[in-house]
Amino acid sequence: MVMVCEKYGVCRTTMRTALQQLTMEGYVYRKRGSGTFVSANKVKQILTSTVEHFSRQIAMQGKKPSIKVLQLDVIPADEFLKEQLMIQEGEPVNMLERIRYVDDIPIQFETAYLPWCKTPALDKQGCEKSFYNILKTQSDLKINKTIETLEMYIADKDAAEKLNICIGEPCFVLDTIAYLGDGAIIEYSKTIYRGDLAHFVIERNY
């Protein structure tokens, strides 16, 4: 830091504040006893599951976000989906499979389930952007609360193919339940993140 300050004539406090901001935003990282490094690889992700946030966050890091829809189908709810979405068995459900890319590298493989009766207007093209936006504009549905659980996930064949990694590589799996204002569940999703590229930030105020 001293060298940079002298070289560019910047005061130390300014430089320290700037470095802290850059660290928080994932551009650089600090290593004990070794100084500050530029993060080339990791993709910072504020923990939140909306696509809108995803794209904005990635763009803010100067990277190019993109989403590919693999599948959008209506399926009948099985026992598991019935419990996750709190609907009847057999009720129609939108199943949406997507891959999210950063600079054309696949980093997230997501499978989302939404009760069809609340989301009949979902379409493939719209899901390449934010479907929360579609829900809001087309159906006036607004997410009120999410509960996310994060665990380790060892890549199986499917995840490995989707994320272009080897079977057995450690990944994160994030399960999300999203609630509307009236307490109804609007989405259950399961997202697998490449372990080597993910970097989650959780900010809390007490």
Contact region with a second copy (CB under 8 A), list: 15-23, 62-70, 96-104, 120-128: 15-23
Nearest C-alpha neighbor of 167 from the set 175, 179, 159, 178: 159
Q: Does 80 bind a second copy (CB under 8 A)?
A: yes
Nearest C-alpha neighbor of 109 from the set 166, 169, 182, 163: 163
Q: Does 74 bind a second copy (CB under 8 A)?
A: no
Q: Does 157 bind a second copy (CB under 8 A)?
A: no
Q: Does 33 bind a second copy (CB under 8 A)?
A: yes
Q: Does 120 bind a second copy (CB under 8 A)?
A: no
Q: Say if CB 65 and CB 52 are below 8 A apart.
A: no
- Looking at beta carbons only, is 9 or 202 nearer to a second copy? 202
- Which residue type does 114 have? L
Q: Environment class of residue 104 by beta-carbon count within 10 Å: exposed (0-12), middle (13-18) or buried (19+)?
A: exposed
CB of 31 to a second copy, least distance (A): 7
Contact region with a second copy (CB under 8 A), list: 42-50, 60-68, 121-129, 158-166: 42-50
